[in-house]
Amino acid sequence: MYFTVIALLILTFNLIGNFKKDKGLNRKAKVAQTIMLLTLVTFFAEFVENLIFLILNFDSVNYFYSADVGVLSGQVNQVLYYVGIAYQMFVLVLLFFLSNRNNTARVWLMWLLPFWVFTYLVNYYRNIANRGQEFGVDTIVILIPAFILMLGLSVVYIVLYNRKFMKYFFDQGKKI
């Protein structure tokens, strides 16, 4: 929670500083950029806390994530956890580059967002499987709406970042 607030504050100051460089121009792109980055940073910043927890409690985290969870074997669960942390930290760094209109970060993000759906669903599944069937509902029934939501968000971000006005916005960022 704390790191999310800190990341959002840093992002806000980054965006304000960047947007002042071409004041009054690209308003639609600036609004889209702000909304997309704020939501993505909110999703990804929590993983800083997970990384710190991992470092401080490596043995207990390693033990916990090496256990079988639902259909995931202990080894697969553990590998997916570590890969997920690395992926999410990489995307968080990309988002801060994106706030400065780095076009390379925009292109990388387009390629990495589909994996967000996968990593989110694995984490979501892990949480459901660890808690058991508290609601008496089959796991797949719970995962389908989460999949639709995350896939929908990813598609919206990819489509928006590939729109002509956003590409122009990032091209303008090189010139200022």
- Give counts: helices (H), strands (E), the chain: 7, 0
* Segments of the chain scoring below 70 in pLDDT: 130-137, 173-176
> In this predicted structure, what is the pLDDT of residue 48?
82
pTM for the full predicted model: 0.83
Given a contact cutoff of 8 angstroms between Cβ atoms, the answer to whether 43 and 84 are in contact is no
pLDDT for res 26: 87
How many distinct structural domains can be found in the chain?
1
Query: What range defines the domain where residue 158 resides?
Result: 2-175
